[in-house]
Amino acid sequence: MIEMMLMAHVLLGVTCMVLSVWIFVDVLHATEANQARIRTMSRVAAAVMWLAFLIAGYWYVFFYKADKTVILKGPWPFAHNFFMETKEHLVIMLLLLVTYLPIAAAGNLAASKDARRVMLWVTGLIALLALAMDGEGGMVAMGVKVGLLAK
């Protein structure tokens, strides 16, 4: 069950990243025809990211303590001290951006260059942060693995 939660968290995070790139490309070619799709995908990206966060939060509160102990006693304590700590703080920016995404998408993207510019920045930052978070999660998982192998 725990592994399924972690896999769902990763899958939802990657889905958010892919959706943000999809939205980015749609916004580059914003017309009246694709504005509804941009707005829908923006809401879906926000929902998917919040779901990933809720799953991760539940896992973190109830299950991470054991992994943290393994990491800190193993050869890679930086997997927690740097990567997990960074991830815990960057997630707030990611959640703010993804929550703002549907609000930014409400503008007339086909007519407003400024509205498109805001959407491009927001989706670009979401994609980059999601990619960084995915890498950080991989480092934390590797910290657990090398901690267990060192025993």
Q: What is the spatial distance between Cα 22 and Cα 62, in angstroms, rounded to a whole number?
A: 34
Decide: 16 and 123 in contact? Cβ < 8 Å.
Answer: no
Name the DSSP letter for residue 74: S
Alpha-carbon radius of gyration of the chain = 18
| Residue reference for tokens 């990206």 | 45
- The confidence score (pLDDT) of residue 34 equals 96
| Residue reference for tokens 């707005």 | 39
Say yes or no to pLDDT of 151 above 80: no
Say yes or no to pLDDT of 6 above 80: yes
What are the sequence ranges of the domains in the chain?
A: 2-149
Distance of CA 24 to the CA centre of its chain: 16
Decide: 24 and 105 in contact? Cβ < 8 Å.
Answer: no
Decide: 40 and 73 in contact? Cβ < 8 Å.
Answer: no
Decide: 23 and 84 in contact? Cβ < 8 Å.
Answer: no
CA distances from 46 to 36, 89, 117, 125 (A): 16, 18, 19, 14
| Residue reference for tokens 């399924």 | 4
pTM tops 0.85, yes or no: yes
Distance of CA 14 to the CA centre of its chain: 7
Span 73-120, pLDDT tens digits: 999 999 999 999 999 999 999 999 999 999 999 999 999 999 999 999
Which alpha helices (H) appear in 29-112, and where do they start and end?
35-73, 78, 85-105
- The confidence score (pLDDT) of residue 88 equals 94
- The confidence score (pLDDT) of residue 33 equals 95
- The confidence score (pLDDT) of residue 2 equals 83
